[in-house]
Amino acid sequence: MDRKEAVLRELNLYPLWVQRNQPALEEPRPVRPELVSGPETPVSVDSVQAPTSLARTEMNNDRAGSPVVKPVSSVGDIDWLQLKEMVRGCTACKLRAGCTQTVFGVGDENADWLFVGEGPGEEEDAQGEPFVGQAGKLLDNMLLAIKLKRGENVYIANVVKCRPPNNRNPDAEEIATCLPYLQRQIELIKPKLIMALGKTASTALLGKDAPLASLRGTLHDFNGIPLVVTFHPAYLLRSPSEKAKAWQDLCFATDEMQKL
């Protein structure tokens, strides 16, 4: 069994999935006029406002209870070192009291691809790196399936940097408090394309609550950056029959990346 077959078998997609070629990626990135869906209120780290309301919203079939949120503060025009230091010392929400350490993010800080999950789990909390457990193994294989590799032109981060207790979903206030850190990461990375993994990430980045199924297969917009929504790997572990849809999303994202 060769490496490609092994990866596709891991994703339960062999021999159904057909791998596509990944072309060389080029700068600069144009703003795509055909992007069809952006944040209801585009968010800049320098212009974020305190929320007027924090509403918990309807549960979806992916990750439950993802709220529509607005960030509550700005981290300003700081660099990577300052941002990492700020996150490391952050106690701005109640999640910090229950976690081992903050989990900032990992990868190529000039990556074209940014994958955004929800928050650290138990193993991520212990190791200080996102997606290192079984969900991380699946994400790595998803990356390999489209000829990507963790740390090489790929950055991986979460919406919240501290582990929610008992792996619950982060609540609206926690997301709103932490979101400026992710926004600043995005500003510094300047990815060509963002993959939102799961309902919490898509809701936080798009600023609207909608069923994940209605968001898939469409090119969204995050402050001028194309954004594609797919399932969270942890959900795919619980619902392996959905892996074929995740592959469709990866192919869609790869196709869109080729146009950039």
Confirm if 123 and 133 have CB atoms less than 8 A apart: yes
Task: Note whether 93 binds ligand SF4 by CB under 6 A.
Answer: yes
Task: Note whether 84 binds ligand SF4 by CB under 6 A.
Answer: no
CA-closest candidate to residue 138, choices 17, 19, 247, 255? 247
Task: Note whether 87 binds ligand SF4 by CB under 6 A.
Answer: yes
* Listed ranges 25-33, 45-53, 174-182, 218-226: which one lies at the site for ligand SF4 (CB under 6 A): 174-182
SS3 content of the chain, % helix, strand, coil (to 5): 40, 10, 50
CB of 154 to ligand SF4, least distance (A): 22
Task: Note whether 186 binds ligand SF4 by CB under 6 A.
Answer: no
Task: Note whether 90 binds ligand SF4 by CB under 6 A.
Answer: yes
User: CA 245, CA 15: separation in Å to the nearest integer?
Assistant: 15
Confirm if 84 and 104 have CB atoms less than 8 A apart: yes
CB of 256 to ligand SF4, least distance (A): 30
* Listed ranges 51-59, 144-152, 172-180, 219-227: which one lies at the site for ligand SF4 (CB under 6 A): 172-180
Is the alpha carbon torsion for 205, 206, 209, 215 positive or negative? negative
Task: Note whether 234 binds ligand SF4 by CB under 6 A.
Answer: no
Out of 91, 110, 134, 167, name the contact with ligand SF4 by CB under 6 A: 91
Enumerate the H helices of 80-121 as residue ranges.
80-88
Contacts to ligand SF4 by CB under 6 A: 87, 90-93, 95-96, 102, 160-162, 174, 177-178
